[in-house]
Every structure is written in structure tokens, then in C-alpha cells.
Amino acid sequence: MTTPLIFNIQKFSVHDGPGIRTTIFFKGCPIRCAWCHNPESQSFQNEVILTKDGQQEIVGRTYSIEELVREIEKDTIFYEQSGGGVTLSGGEVMSQNMDYLETLVKTLKNRGISVVIDTCGVAPFKHYQRLMPYVDLFLYDLKFIHSALHTKYTGTSNRLVLENLKKLSDAGAAIDLRLIMLNSLNSDEHSVQKTIEWLRENMIHLASIHLLPYHEFGRDKYPRLHRETPQLFASPSHDRLVEIRQQFNCYCPTFINE
Ligand code: SF4
């Protein structure tokens, strides 16, 4: 079994699902979002990053399942008190070694730890089917409803993203839909209406919707990885975000704010 690389274990996370969570960031992603805040998450290989004070640091290391579960269990008391647990994020979790992932989520479930998966939707559906019985919630990204824009800004069409979202919903998975908000790219009236129409036509059942306004965090990491700094995007205004929220509210009344 190829053991996946992990590049960060974030304790006391409160933005990656319910309650207090430990978020595990797996290294390797099949797509390339032009705004990615974690460029060190994209390659499936180890790489060197310069720290802010100019030291070389290796990004990515392996953990045996026992070692990782031990680390996660250190905060069990906080999960119990807050309704939290563990969130598997990335990079893209669903593109990792699925034997490893299935054993990990089964083990966590058997120990009574809630599992949330954060995914961009670009993975074979059979991977989702394998993990679904042990996953309490999917944080599911939909970046663009227009396929051409999805291709332009992530390098991949949204066909699989939409197909997997429909299949997960039909299979009864709990889904928190996460929409990155980029001014004048996916937050205009037409894009929002088209997204709502698509959700309606496909009868997508959502536990909640999460608007994620664009921010500039992580741009400083690109030169430290010897990569070109990406273009700047902008978030829609506060007023526009309120309008978008109202528009989605009639489809799914449960909103989570960042
Ligand atoms: S899906 Fe996430 S990790 Fe992958 S490139 Fe996009 S923002 Fe980065």
C-alpha cells in the first residue's frame, strides 16, 4: 500500500465542519485552482519550501494509520465536548490511496470519532462509495457552474464534479456545499441563478451551504516554492454576498458563514 503524504495536521480547527476538529491535510491534488491558498498541497511528491526566515523545509511526510489515529485521539475530549471530530482535507483526499483511506476512516468510526471529508469532487465515484458508510459529512466544493470557466481556472472541466455531487446526493450522503466566491467570475446574477437551477433540476439534497469569499492568504508561499505568484482575484462586496445568500436561502435555508 502506498502511504499518502500528509503536509499538515491542524488542531483545534473550527472552520472545517462541526465543533472542534483536527484537520489532516493530504498532499496531492488532481486540479490546479488559479487562487489555491495551499500550493504546497498540489504535488503528490515531497518538495522543499523556504520558511519565512529562509530555511529549507521538506513538505510532506507519511504516517502509519496507527500513528495518525494516535495523534487524532489526543484531542478526543474536545471532539466529545464540542460535537467535533476529524476532517480529512488536502490537496484532495479522494485522490489518495483508497485502501489507506478506507482503513483510516473505518478505524476512526469504530473509535466513535466523527469523520468529515473536504473534497473538490474530482475523483472516481467508486472512491466516494467506499468511504461513504463511515463519513458523517462531505464538504463539497463547487467552483464554477460554467464548465468553460471551471476548465479555465482549475485546468479541469466540472463534469465529474457535478456527476459526483448528484450521485452522492442520490445516495443520501450529508453534503455541505461550499462555493468559493470570486467577483465577476462566479458570483454574478446569471451564475448564481444557473447554480440554483442546476441544484433544483437535479434534486440535490444539501445539509447546508457555505459561501467562501476569496481571500489572498497563501500567495507568499508561491515564491517560497520557486513558483510564479498567481494572479489576484477579488471577493464580491459584502452587500453582494448578502444578496447571494438570500438567493440561495430559498433553496437551502441552512447557511454557514466563514
Ligand atoms: S482543489 Fe483545493 S488544493 Fe486543489 S488546487 Fe484547488 S484549492 Fe488547491
Cα(218) to centroid(ligand 1), Å: 12
Ligand 1, closest atom to CA 90? Answer: 3
* The ligand 1 atom nearest the CA atom of 39: 8
- pLDDT for 126: 98
What is the Å distance from ligand 1's center to 237 Cα?
A: 23
The ligand 1 site (C-beta within 6 Å) comprises: 29, 31-33, 36, 38, 41-42, 90-92, 120
8 CA distance to ligand 1 centroid (A)? 15
pLDDT at 216: 94
What does the pLDDT read at residue 39?
97
For residue 30, give the ligand 1 atom closest to its CA: 4
Closest CA to 145 of 89, 202, 90, 92: 202
Give 201 Cα–ligand 1 centroid separation in angstroms.
27
What integer pLDDT is reported at residue 1 of this predicted model?
Answer: 67
Rounded distance between C-alpha atoms, residue 139 and residue 103, angstroms: 20
- At residue 254, the pLDDT reads 80
Residue-level pLDDT, tens digit, the chain, 258 residues:
689 999 999 999 999 999 999 999 999 999 999 999 999 999 999 999 999 999 999 999 999 999 999 999 999 999 999 999 999 999 999 999 999 999 999 999 999 999 999 999 999 999 999 999 999 999 999 999 999 999 999 999 999 999 999 999 999 999 999 999 999 999 999 999 999 999 999 999 999 999 999 999 999 999 999 999 999 999 999 999 999 999 998 888 787 665
Q: Which DSSP string corresponds to the chain?
A: -PPPPEEEEEEEESSSSSSSEEEEEES--SS--TT-S-GGGS-SS-EEEE-TTS-EEEE-B---HHHHHHHHHTTHHHHHHHT-EEEEESS-GGGS-HHHHHHHHHHHHHTT-EEEEEE-S-S-HHHHHHHGGG-SEEEEE---SSHHHHHHHHSS-SHHHHHHHHHHHHTT--EEEEEEE-TTTT-SHHHHHHHHHHHHHTT---SEEEEEE---TTTTHHHHTT-PPPPP--PPPHHHHHHHHHHHHTT---EEE-
* Gap from CA of 35 to ligand 1 centroid (Å): 8
Q: Which residue reads 466544493 in cell numbers?
A: 141
Determine the pLDDT at residue 251: 84
- Residue 212 is predicted with a pLDDT of 96
Which ligand 1 atom is at minimum distance from the Cα of 120? Answer: 1
Q: What is the pLDDT of residue 170?
A: 98
Domain boundaries along the sequence of the chain: 6-257
Nearest CA residue ID for atom 3, ligand 1: 91
- pLDDT, residue 223, reads 96
CATH of domain 6-257: 3.20.20.70
User: Hey, whose CA ends up nearest to atom 2 of ligand 1?
Assistant: 91
Of all protein residues, whose CA lies closest to atom 8 belonging to ligand 1? 36
CA of 142 to the centre of ligand 1 (A): 12
